[in-house]
Every structure is written in C-alpha cells, then in structure tokens.
Amino acid sequence: MSSVERVSTGIGGLDQMLGGGVFRGSVTLIKGAPGTGKTGFGLHFIAEGARVHEEPGIVVTFEQFPHKMIRDARSIGIDLSDLEKKGLVKLVFTSPEVFYREAQRAGGILDALVHETGARRILVDSISHLERVTRDPIALREISYAFINSLLRHDLTAFVTQEDVEITGEVSAAQHGISYLVDTVILLRYVELDSSIRRALLVLKQRASQHDRSIREYVITGEGIRVGEPFADREGILSGTPSKRGLEAFMEVFGKKPRTGE
Ligand SMILES: Nc1ncnc2c1ncn2[C@@H]1O[C@H](COP(=O)(O)OP(=O)(O)OP(=O)(O)O)[C@@H](O)[C@H]1O
Ligand SMILES: [Mg+2]
C-alpha cells in the first residue's frame, strides 16, 4: 500500500516532475527501447537510497551479470561494488522463474534478502523477462500482478524496467497490461532531431497525484542522468520524428547541444 510520503529518485529534475518523488511503498515502471537508460534510472533510485537516505536496496537482474551491471553503473558515476561492500546494496542475478516463485513464498529468497539487508528499495531489471514464465497473455497479467504485489509485501519502494518493442513511435500504455498494475509509469524515448538522436522522457501516469505532463529531454553523463527542460511539441516528439514546427520549438528550447561527458 503506498503512503503519502515521497521517496527521492535521485535523478535531478525527475523528482520535481513527480511532485517531490515517488510514493513510499509504490511501484514505478520505467519503460523504453534498448539503450534508452532504463537500468540507469533504476540504479540512480537505488544509489540515492543507499548513499543519501540510509535505505539499503536490492537490485534483481535477469539479464546482466553482476560485473556488467557494476561496469554500467560506474559509467554513470555509481560505485555499486563499494555500496555492495558496505552492505547498502545487494545484487541478485537469477532467473525470472526462480525469483517469481521465491517472491511468492513466505520465507523465500526475497524474504531472506530483505531480512538480511534491511532493504527499503528494490529494482527489478527487467520485468519483460516474466514473459519467459508464460506465453499466455492472461496468465502473464496474473503473474505480473502477483509479482508486483510480492515486491510490496515488505513495504519496499520498487522500480521495475520494461523493454519497449518499438524504438520510436506511438505510445502504448496497454502493452501487456503492466502499466495498469503500477503506480507510476515513466516512458523513455529516442527522438531524432537534426540527424542526431536525443532522449525524451514522459511521466505517463502517477496514481493519486498531480504530475508534470510535459515531455522533457534527459541526458546521460559520466556523473549520472539529468532531466532538462520541456519539449514544446508533445505530439511530434512522441512520434519519434518531430514535425518542422516541433523541430523549431525544440531547437528554441534546446538550442544548446548538451555537452557530452558533462
Ligand atoms: N558516461 C556516459 N555518457 C553518456 N552516455 C552514457 C554514459 N554511460 C552510459 N551511457 C549511455 O547509456 C545508455 C545505456 O543505458 P542503460 O543500460 O541504462 O539503458 P537500458 O535502457 O537499460 O538498455 P538495455 O535495454 O540494453 O538494458 C547507452 O546508450 C549509453 O550510451
Ligand atoms: Mg538495461
């Protein structure tokens, strides 16, 4: 059950969009195409808890070996192995089948992990792998629902990532129905502008709360992810190929190119 208390995501600009952060005890879905930064957003959320709020975190990954996760985190300024050494982060590399089963079971792996670490936050990267458990869309929805609920049993605040099949294009809130099961949905998109690929973010929904509905550019740097100013042409940006008007509006707002490695 989510509370009214806000939890910082650790991402400059995103907390403001969310009205101060996500609700404690809520589930946030980060959805985007490969390479948009889904894992990075999740790692920021975990690192913020561990480094700033004395809230240990669990990182469950079905797709990356821990050493790859540690390397990727380092590239955005997060020292996961240090946090792990200090007992503030626990990296768990497992299969979706095993984790799903264990998350349901009282006294299972998830219970043991929470007990061992005192975790308040959890990242599951990515929930798309639950598709390996079943191909039936109705069963998948039930499994997703049970899975998400099991994350909340311990009053954890959760981030889950999901692969978007399309690189750019129409937004589908209904994909596998997971969006309906979570409290907050954040969409990450590639936008092609002036022959270069930029990144855009939209808070698609936030349950029981007002949120900023603008589409904003975000940048990934060696110091982390930072959310910038709104794009002006919402329709054009979501299509992935903004119109002339959108392009002009965009260039007005983002006339200066973000410096890489900033
Ligand atoms: N220091 C950095 N400066 C600029 N960009 C970076 C930096 N470190 C990582 N990136 C970019 O971040 C992106 C990868 O982010 P991340 O792994 O979080 O994405 P993802 O959505 O989880 O990808 P996947 O779908 O492959 O899991 C890549 O596009 C990479 O170029
Ligand atoms: Mg990833």
Given pLDDT bands bounded at 50, 70 and 90, which one contains residue 258?
A: very low
pTM of the model: 0.87
Given pLDDT bands bounded at 50, 70 and 90, which one contains residue 233?
A: low
Cβ 230 under 6 angstroms from ligand 1: no
Asked if 160 contacts 126 with a C-beta cutoff of 8 angstroms, the reply is yes
Cβ 37 under 6 angstroms from ligand 1: yes
Cβ 149 under 6 angstroms from ligand 1: no
> Which protein residue has the closest C-alpha to ligand 1 atom 19?
37
Cβ 123 under 6 angstroms from ligand 1: no
Tell me, what DSSP letter sits at residue 4?
S
Amino acid symbol at 186: I
Note the pLDDT tens digit of each residue in 157-187: 999 999 886 544 444 444 556 788 899 999 9
In whole angstroms, how large is the CA radius of gyration of the chain?
Answer: 18
What residue ranges define each of the domains in the chain, with the CATH number in brackets?
6-190 (3.40.50.300)
Note the pLDDT tens digit of each residue in 89-140: 999 999 999 999 998 888 899 999 999 999 999 999 988 888 888 888 888 8
CA 74 vs. chain centroid, Å, equals: 17
Tokens of 26: 């809520």
Note the pLDDT tens digit of each residue in 234-246: 556 666 666 655 5
Dump the DSSP string for 109-165: HHHHHHHHHT--EEEEE-GGGGGGT-S-HHHHHHHHHHHHHHHHTTT-EEEEEEE-S
Number of CB atoms found within 10 A of residue 245's CB: 12
Tokens of 143: 């499994």
